[in-house]
Amino acid sequence: MDTVWANPSRLAALREGITRVDDRPTFPVEAPFTGERIADVPACTEADVAAAVEQAREAGAAWAARPVDERAAVLSEFHDLVLDRQDDLLDLMQLETGKTRRDAFEEVLDVASTARHYATHTDLLASERRTGAFPGLTKAVVHHHPVGVVGLISPWNYPLTLAVSDALPALLAGNGVVLKPDESTTHTALLARDLLEDAGLPPGLLQVVSGDGADLGEPLISRVDHVGFTGSTAVGREVGALAGEHLTDVSLELGGKNPLLVLDDADPDEAAAGAVRASFANAGQLCISTERLYVHTDAYDDFVDAFVRETRNLALGAGFEYGPEMGSLQSDQQLEKVVAHVDDAVERGATVLAGGRTRPDLGPYFHEPTILEDVTSEMTLSSEETFGPVVALYEVDSVEEAVERANDSPYGLNASVWTSDTARGEHVAERIECGTVNVNEGYAAAWASIDAPMGGMKDSGVGRRHGDEGLLKYTESQTVATQRGARIDPGPLPQSLWASGLTLGLRALKRVAGWLP
């Protein structure tokens, strides 16, 4: 493996940053490109989680007392370090996930952009004056306090983005953070934590524990003040249930079966090129990637020809340089699921237009980007998320049918609309029941718009990352109201006279509401 991280001592040095109070058993970590074992990561226990939360809480008290501009300066410096040290980050992400360098670079862009955005939006945390009960007599001020300790449980598919991009606003808000990354991508999270400390983050504020989520989930959720989880809907339900038991606030970004709509007026070549990226980025292992394509009959033949051609021309490969357009699946488990979905569909009558095969000549977990036609409802992949490079094509007769079928899913995470009339596309997008919808783009337009919220509807989650919501969810809002002069309660007045006076006051307030602050 042509990377500095092939040196076991470098990975071992990162693992020194895992919080553990004693020696622990370990589990193996492998490189998807080759299937080789590259490291052994400690299996932390409840005692380790308890220590991590305690240390994060202790460090968080001093951190919260620092001016917000000082906290923002750490994020700003981290932005620069991520760009400066991107080769180390890219190599490590590729080593642990098997993704292409281009797909890994998207994570660098995302994390740097997130750091910059929140570092320049500290005004969201400022105390703000609100309208009191009686203008001029009641003063109301809202303050935003940190919740305390935020627990983050992040997946393997985007090991930098989905760990650090949620940690950054939590830290800016004045919280300590305990991160439980997927066991197979722990080193990427540790390197990001080291870069944050190099940027000035106080030691101990961001803790990392490693191990199986089934073992560490309850100990973490029961101790923190907010839990963020990104992963499957099935596990998300379990996380939400545990959080409910402990009255712990929660944000969940969960599964998706994301639709892409090609309208009758779309440019077939442009739509096909966009659909390839929407469907096969990160080998389809992206929660907001496309798995269902609804194409208007007027554009169907031309689009399919272009889509199949572009898909067959994708360059697959393993390596730590730019060039390959699609990399490996991350594990044997992912490959088995993709193969099972394709085999089930073909056995039940689906037609393979492109791909459909594993590629052991490239690496143990490679699978060709696959396009299926004639997919019917009894096939597993028609409704279940594949999370791999497999898409189903459906021909539709109208925009109404496309929207109806796009919404005919328990999921509602991301969608895409392709048209030559952007105003029309925006109108169609509003009718799709997804938290983010892209017009003439697959996913990047919404994902990269960090000033706007991102998250799922229906079974695709609760809460939002990015935007104002992505920061304020890590705060407790407190209202301090001061009454000056006249009292709100009756006091010595007869209650009937008090009620009549307030009635007149309410009528007056309605009349002047348009110019009141």
Positions marked catalytic: 253, 287
**Residue whose structure tokens are 């033949």:** 301
Residues forming a β-bridge with 436: 414
302's CB contacts (< 8 A; 6+ apart) are 268
Eight-state DSSP code of residue 116:
H
| Cα 304 to Cα 441: distance, rounded to the nearest angstrom | 18
How far apart, in Å, are the Cα atoms of 192 and each of 89, 460, 471, 516? 8, 27, 19, 48
Instruction: Find, among 103, 86, 112, the residue nearest to 319 by Cα.
Output: 103
H and E: helices and strands count for the chain:
17, 20
Calpha distance 178→149 (Å, rounded): 7
Q: What are the phi and psi torsion angles at 409 (to 5°)?
A: -160, 145
Given CA atoms 294, 374, 376, 372 in this order, what sign does their dihedral have?
negative
Reading the block at residue 301, the tokens are 């033949």
| Residue-wise burial string across 416-446, b where 16 or more C-beta atoms lie within 10 A, e elsewhere | bbbbeeeeebeebbeebbbbbbbbbbbbbeb
CA distances from 389 to 12, 114, 204, 254 (A): 33, 27, 39, 19
**Cα–Cα distance between 426 and 486 in angstroms, integer?**
51
Eight-state DSSP code of residue 485: S
Tokens of 486: 């006249």
Query: Whole-angstrom Cα distance, residue 201 to residue 179?
Result: 15
Show the CA angle centred on residue 128, arms to residues 123 and 132, nearest 5°. Answer: 165
With beta carbons less than 8 A apart as the criterion, state whether 379 and 344 touch: yes
